[in-house]
Structures are given as C-alpha cells and as structure tokens.
Amino acid sequence: MAEDLNKAEDRWRNRGLFRPKRSRRWGRLLFFGIVLLLLGLFLKEAGSEWLYEWLQTR
C-alpha cells in the first residue's frame, strides 16, 4: 500500500504536477506581497516628506 503511494507520488513528481512546486510559488508570491506592503507602508509613513523634497529638487 505504502509502496503504491510512493510510486504514485513519484509519477506526479516526474510530471511536474506535484504540489510543493505550486505551494512554493504561492509562498514566494506571498513573501513578495508582504515585502511590498511593508515597503509601501514605510514609504508612506517615513519617506513621504523625504520623497516629496527629493522630487522637488530634481
């Protein structure tokens, strides 16, 4: 029984349809989304005045 499951998992893995690949992609998207959100909040709070002054000087 367990060997059959392992064979089935190997078959899925060889096709590239195995689940960890998909969850890894979603994890990366989630990570980048959180980083962008934090960066946006930081820029809104701390960097908005600095950004405004920097844009005025250019």
What average pLDDT does the chain have?
A: 76
> What is the per-residue pLDDT for 34?
94
Distances (CA, A) of 36 to 25, 26, 31, 39: 16, 15, 9, 5
pLDDT over threshold 70, residue 32: yes
3-state helix, strand, coil in the chain (%, to 5): 90, 0, 10
Using DSSP's 3-state secondary structure scheme, residue 47 falls into coil
pTM, full prediction: 0.40
